[in-house]
Chains A and B, each alone.
Chain A
Amino acid sequence: MGFSLLEELPKILWLVIGVAGFAAVIGLLLLLVDRGPKTRRDWWQAVCFLGPALLLLLLGLVYPAIRTTALSFFDRSGDSLVGLDNYVWMFTQPEILTVLRNTLLWVLFAPFLATATGLLYAILVDRSRFESVAKSLMFMPMAISFVGASIIWRFVYAVRPAESDQIGLLNQIVVWFGGEPQQWLLNQPLNTLLLIVVLIWVQAGFAMVVLSAAIKAIPAEIIEAARLDGTTPWQLFRHITLPSVWPTVTVVLITISVQTLKVFDIVRTMTGGQFDTSVIANEMYNQAFRYGELGQGSALAVFLFVLVIPLVLVQMRTNRRAREQR
């Protein structure tokens, strides 16, 4: 099927109608603000401008959150109240405990390794001759979706019978060193760690770019003062560079931690959560949409939400402290 402009016309028409509708709404809103009462004008403006956004937030975010929380106390169809049963199930069912353990592994390894890799790389390439090229190389995985990255890494981990040629990079390396090709994605708990590598591969570029900017923001005079004070390169890193970029490091750590908690695509694409590699988000999807267990899926979602809250709080506190230091 070729692309025919005529066939697409209805879509384009809808697009135009949509844009025109948006403009009309905004125009109406502005008119409304203009025609408002003369007294308490600031209140009127606030209501007009914030109202629609608040309404959408309520519909798209607050209502689903409340409904999900409520559903987590109901049974699979959402008809009868079951109390804390779904939560008890979550923390007693062996498969789900494995899921929780896997999520813990992800959160323990992925953010720290990705941040550490990014920081190390940022420091090593800083002010080197090929800095921009080196940084683009590292950053490129960021442009790939998790699904795309997972497919790439599935090839890396791919396995062929020992007598034929290996198409997976990892197994080929093993064969070169005289080893037997492995079923990488079947051996647990190694398979979870191998999935974590994919996330690190994607996120290290993000960490590197943000941390590199933070390193460059350290005033040159401070580095020079430290050199005159007599720092060795390691002391410079330990006492000057690291403390200076620390607020950024925590931001990066937390951002990647949240990403890690929510990770779904990598697991879904590479193993589908089989071989004991599932994580909370994947299990939630399975329960709610594949097995039709609305209550259990909702309970997992609520638990995930609870896990993210402390990270966000820490984030806010760091932000406030960083502002005070300036």
Chain B
Amino acid sequence: MAKIVLDSVDKVYSGGVKAVDSLNLEINDGEFMVLVGPSGCGKSTALRMIAGLEEITGGTLTIGDRVVNDLPPKNRDIAMVFQNYALYPHMTVEQNLAFGLKLRKTPKPEIERRVKEAAAMLGLEPYLKRKPAALSGGQRQRVAMGRAIVREPQAFLMDEPLSNLDAKLRVQMRASLNQLHERLGVTTVYVTHDQIEAMTLGDRVAVLRDGKLQQVDTPKNLFDHPVNLFVAGFIGSPAMNFVAARLEQNGDGAVLKFADQTLPVADETLAAKPELRDYFGREIVLGIRPSDFDDAELAAYNGGTMTVKADVTEEIGTEINVIFTIDAPPLDHEDAAALAADAAGDGDEDDAALPLTRDKSVFTARVSPRSSVRPGQMITLAVDTRQLHYFDKVSGLSIGHPASKPAAATV
């Protein structure tokens, strides 16, 4: 097991395309680090550079206490799990598992022991003599994991290993992965474009965009304290609602005005983020998580209310998603545009561009399933104003975020 350190690592492809731009990342010994971001953000390239499958253009990469920039993959003592499993089709499961060890001249009894152990751990014993073609997707996935485990490497690298499984199996495998990591405690770098996978698996999550690191933190901190608009919009499902709002002083406190709505700024927020005072009388970007709304009649906390007309309600059982429009133009910021493009490309996000609501912002609120809201009805929503997110309209950075303070000066 080892620590992996990326020190201003660059990847520039011929033609000058910068896939990874000065990436600094410290993955601690035994940590489960998830790299997440929309497609083309450089997360896979970063992983492949750690594996040694891509050359590093600049910067240094350290695994353990060795600089491995110029080390071939086989000497880096890492194991990788691929998206398409990459099992050797002409070998049985047993041979697939043992292949790496055989090449390393591991003594035979030792190979047998490790293969047996891994097979037991993953429930692969009945399939050892089968070829990959005779296995289901989930079984192949487990063989791929097993092949990494038997090597007992310094680190596991996983490149979207669950994305080829169907939804139910993916949830199951996600849980098994968590258990496995707990049991083996091997440093793991995991790449995914699925933010739910990132949040559930990662000890820490690194959000990338256009080859640049946006934020690294625990899932909870990413959710509660996103450093900029992009991270705020990318993490969380349904995605955070954004609207341009005017911040105005109101006696000792402050209020936010947008469209025909007014929300108070919680006093504790103003105390924690004194920088907000600089924005009095100016427009900022307000972010409200769908989960920070509730039906005012059932809400436990009520910092302010918005009365809106519910256009659509999605009853999921555990909650109801209320979709409504705000009479304010949709956010015009490159981060928001990038998120919309990603959502449209993904196809499974519910807020892909709606041409019907051109000059209005579409909001989603997640309310209690006991709410009696129906489509077309008016509803009064309570807003947890302590959890509001404030972003600078130009830079997109979170106002008063500890990480954005030094960055704000340089960007």
Contacts and interface: CB of A to CB of B under 8 A. Distances in A.
A228 B104 contact: no
B133 interface: yes
B133 A246 contact: no
B86 A235 contact: no
Contacts of A221: 82-86
A229 B86 contact: no
Interface in B67-85: 72-74, 78-80, 82-85
Contacts of A222: 86-89
A216 to B, nearest CB: 16
B257 interface: no
B223 interface: no
Nearest to B51: A228
A228 B133 contact: no
A227 B133 contact: no
A231 B90 contact: no
Interface in B46-66: 51-53
A229 B89 contact: no
Nearest to A223: B86
B100 A229 contact: yes
B103 interface: yes
Interface stretch (A74-82, A87-95, A237-245, A277-285): A237-245
Interface in B253-304: none
B234 to A, nearest CB: 27
Contacts of A228: 51-53, 73-74, 78-80, 100
* Best-buried of A222, A228, A240 by chain B (most CB within 10 Å): A228
A164 B83 CA distance: 68
Contact-size category for B: 20 to 34
A161 interface: no
Given A225-B80, A227-B53, A227-B74, A325 B104 contact: no
A231 B133 contact: no
Contacts of B82: 221, 224-225
Given A221-B84, A221-B86, A244-B89, A229 B74 contact: yes
B74 A325 contact: no
A7 interface: no
Interface residues of A, number: 20
A231 B74 contact: yes
B174 interface: no
B90 A325 contact: yes
Q: Chain B: interface secondary structure?
A: loop
A3 B131 CA distance: 65
B127 interface: no
Nearest to A230: B74
A244 B90 contact: yes
Nearest to B78: A228
Contacts of B79: 228
Contacts of B131: 325
A324 interface: yes
Contact of B84 (A219, A226, A231): A219
Contacts of B51: 224, 228
Contacts of A325: 89-90, 131, 133
A326 interface: yes
Contact of B100 (A219, A230, A243, A324): A230
Contacts of A324: 133
A246 B85 CA distance: 21
Nearest to A229: B100
Nearest to B133: A325
Nearest to A222: B86
Contacts of B91: 243
Interface of A: 219, 221-222, 224-231, 235, 239-240, 243-244, 246, 324-326
Given A221-B85, A228-B79, 15 more contacts: A219-B84, A222-B86, A224-B86, A225-B86, A227-B52, A227-B53, A227-B72, A227-B73, A228-B74, A228-B80, A229-B100, A235-B103, A244-B89, A244-B90, A324-B133
By Cβ-Cβ distance, the 8 closest A-B pairs, closest first, are: A230-B74, A229-B100, A221-B86, A225-B86, A243-B90, A221-B82, A230-B103, A228-B73
17 contacts: A219-B86, A221-B84, A221-B86, A224-B53, A224-B80, A224-B86, A225-B82, A228-B52, A229-B147, A230-B103, A231-B103, A235-B103, A239-B88, A239-B99, A240-B88, A325-B89, A326-B133
